[in-house]
Amino acid sequence: MKRPTPASVILGFCLTAMAGLLGYQQYQLIQLRSGVDSAAEKTSLEAILARLNRVDERLDAVDGQHLVSNEDFRSGQQALSNRIDAAQAFAQQASDAVENLVQTTASAGDLLVLKATVETLDGSVRTLQEKQAKAPPLIVPAPKRPIPAKPKPKPKPMEPPPFSILGVEYRGGERFLSVAPPGSTQLSQIYLIRQG
């Protein structure tokens, strides 16, 4: 093996010294960083403890005081009770008004059926009046001699229509006549007839 030259020995020594110096500096940096971190933690911990102490002091100050006096509480409770009573009275009035409206609406339905019946009877009377007006007037000749009277045939009574009128309904702004067979009480037998 060869002997190292003095230059390589010096260079090796310098590199070893430099590596030792760098290791020492790294050690100092680690020590410095741990010191700074512990100081920061200690500072933040102290700040938190100080804030917690202030909160405790505020709570102790509020703990001895009543935030609402008994008189204020009772007056507020009485006002709320009065409002509840007024709301219940208003609800009762509204319920009575709805019940009255329901009864009135039922009466309006009966009125509609009566109106349809009156209109039907009015139409029948007009038809009879028109027939009577169109009939030729009876001319009575002067009696010259008595002619044996023939028995007059009895007029046939008008047959009732094959249906009964139940009422008038309005659908889509149009009037419809509701009819059913005489004596019928089933909904399936009721028909709506439109004018025209």
Is this model's pTM higher than 0.75 or not? Answer: no
Residue 186 domain flag? no
Q: What is the dihedral of CA 119, 121, 127, 131, to 10 degrees?
A: -160
Residue 175 domain flag? no
Residue 139 domain flag? no
pLDDT of residue 140: 62
Question: At 166, which helix (H) or strand (E)?
Answer: strand 164-171
CB atoms within 10 A of CB 49: 10
Question: At 179, which helix (H) or strand (E)?
Answer: strand 174-180
Work out how many domains the chain is built from and give that number: 1
Longest dimension (CA), the chain: 189
How high is the mean pLDDT of the chain? 84
Range of the domain at 36: 29-62
Cβ atoms of residues 163 and 150 within 8 Å: no
Cβ atoms of residues 177 and 192 within 8 Å: yes
Residue 56 domain flag? yes
Query: What is the sign, positive or negative, of the torsion defined by CA atoms of 141, 145, 146, 147?
Result: negative
Query: What is the sign, positive or negative, of the torsion defined by CA atoms of 49, 55, 57, 63?
Result: negative
Share of the chain above pLDDT 90, in %: 26
151: confidence class by pLDDT, cuts 50, 70, 90: confident
Residue 86 domain flag? no
